[in-house]
Amino acid sequence: MSDNPQRSMNAGRGPIEVPRSRGRVAVIPGDGIGKEVIPEALKVMRAAAGAGGRELFIKEFDWGADRYLRDGTTLPADAPDMFRREFDAILLGALGDPRTPENRHGADILMGLRFKLDLYVNLRPCVLFDRRLTPLNERTEEDIHFVVLRENTEGLYVGMGGFFKKGTADEIAIQEDVNTRKGVERIIRYAFEYARRQGFTRVCMSDKSNALAFGHDLWQRVFAEVQSEYSAIEARHLYIDNLLMQMLRDPSQFQVIVTCNLFGDIASDLGAGLIGGLGLAPSGNIHPGSVSLFEPVHGSAPDLAGKNLANPMGAALASAMLFDSLGWTSEARMIESAVRAAIREGKTTRDLGGSLGTLEMGEWLANRVVKA
Ligand SMILES: NC(=O)c1ccc[n+]([C@@H]2O[C@H](COP(=O)([O-])OP(=O)(O)OC[C@H]3O[C@@H](n4cnc5c(N)ncnc54)[C@H](O)[C@@H]3O)[C@@H](O)[C@H]2O)c1
């Protein structure tokens, strides 16, 4: 169904993970524009599932700032087990609200699910659908087609550390960077396996081992070991500062980038910038073979919330990734084709130069899926 299967987010070569037949999806719209883009993504998912003759079971959870402020609920203790038992995948909007500046609920829900469901792969495809969308002069769809694989359960995001003498002139703040042999090896191995499965031939690992002499020395040693098992794949290493510069200078060098939690967070936002912005970028938080979580890369965008301005394409493309994870590849390609068609025909929200609102964009995509 794709316009060009070789250049789809999943390279058109089959499911990202082990095929699953059921479509039980837990949905957490969350906060801000999450509550606007997710209903649109659901319209598109329902249209694609219907067109493919699939049965989709959706259950929504109202976790977010409103619920937290009302009764203190963030992530209920039994939620991870419940998701494993009763669902095949999770779709999340975004979490973050100006009324809760410390973002306790957001951290509990999103980081809680990443850690407790052990979603150790954060997969962020950066695929340029139309050359008019990239800020890089002279770059075409052929040049920008890579994925960032971010380690998603360790690094500087584990929340280990503390303050000493907080609020005084002698304050000390410590934030620990956790790198385990198991954690580093499984994401690097996933990168090579992903490359092999998707038909990619190049994997680039990025770290800062010249300065972070312990944690990233581990990344170096594990990368050297694992790459020796994949002789058909070209393995390359770049320090993170050089990686970011090279992504801007010549993104066509990259196919699969694998890196730690913090660097992946930054590199994938740069990647989103190269393909048209945050409104268009999807991501997957994956535990291979188990329930995984898909979300647009963007946050709750309080500046746009409630104005019918947010682009729902990132959420729609996240739902295409979700379908891929279920093994529903042709339905996933239907969604992707609809997004490509919208961009080609100039039917977009304002961030991509068009004039459609969030609602109209969702409806346009859902109608396009049905007509295809
Ligand atoms: N995964 C998540 O839930 C997640 C991720 C990032 C940020 N956040 C939270 O979101 C809140 C806002 O954070 P931020 O402003 O740094 O990031 P953001 O992604 O919400 O917004 C950054 C910029 O991109 C624009 N933008 C984002 N999504 C868009 C869309 N769909 N269409 C058009 N434009 C879009 C926004 O208007 C804003 O100018 C904070 O509370 C933050 O903690 C949550």
CATH number of the domain that residue 231 is part of: 3.40.718.10
Q: Is the CB of 33 under 6 A from ligand 1?
A: yes
- In this prediction the pTM is 0.93
Domains held by the chain: number: 2
Task: Look at residues 222, 244, 275 and tell me which one is the last residue of a structural domain.
Answer: 275
Residues 100 and 206 in one domain: no
Q: Are 129 and 339 in contact (CB under 8 A)?
A: yes
Question: For 45-83, how does the pLDDT look when each residue is reduced to its tens digit (9 = 90+)?
Answer: 999 999 999 999 999 999 999 999 999 999 999 999 999
pLDDT of residue 7 exceeding 70, the answer is no
Task: Look at residues 275, 300, 321 and tell me which one is the last residue of a structural domain.
Answer: 275
Q: Is the CB of 110 under 6 A from ligand 1?
A: yes
Residue 301 Cα to ligand 1 midpoint, Å, equals 4
Residues 226 and 301 in one domain: no
Residues 162 and 103 in one domain: no
Residues 146 and 271 in one domain: yes
Match 């850690």 to its residue by tokens.
115
Helices 240-249 + 261-275 axis angle, to 10: 10
pLDDT of residue 337 exceeding 50, the answer is yes
pLDDT of residue 21 exceeding 60, the answer is no
What value does the mean pLDDT take over residues 317-323? 98
Nearest alpha carbon, ligand 1 atom 34: 279
Q: Is the CB of 64 under 6 A from ligand 1?
A: no
Residues 215 and 305 in one domain: no
Residues 332 and 226 in one domain: no
Q: Is the CB of 311 under 6 A from ligand 1?
A: yes
Residues 269 and 169 in one domain: yes
Q: Is there a domain that residue 229 lies in?
A: yes
* Minimum-distance ligand 1 atom for the alpha carbon of 315: 31
Q: Is the CB of 338 under 6 A from ligand 1?
A: no
Q: Is there a domain that residue 51 lies in?
A: yes
Nearest alpha carbon, ligand 1 atom 23: 301
Residues forming a β-bridge with 155 = 178
Residues 270 and 166 in one domain: yes
Let me know how many helices (H) and strands (E) the chain has, helices first.
12, 12
Residues 296 and 271 in one domain: no
Residue 219 Cα to ligand 1 midpoint, Å, equals 30
Q: Is the CB of 281 under 6 A from ligand 1?
A: no
Residue 180's CB is within 10 A of a number of other CB atoms, namely 12
The residue segments making up the domain with residue 35 are 1-118+283-372
Residues 25 and 142 in one domain: no
Question: For 173-203, how does the pLDDT look when each residue is reduced to its tens digit (9 = 90+)?
Answer: 999 999 999 999 999 999 999 999 999 999 9
Residues 271 and 311 in one domain: no
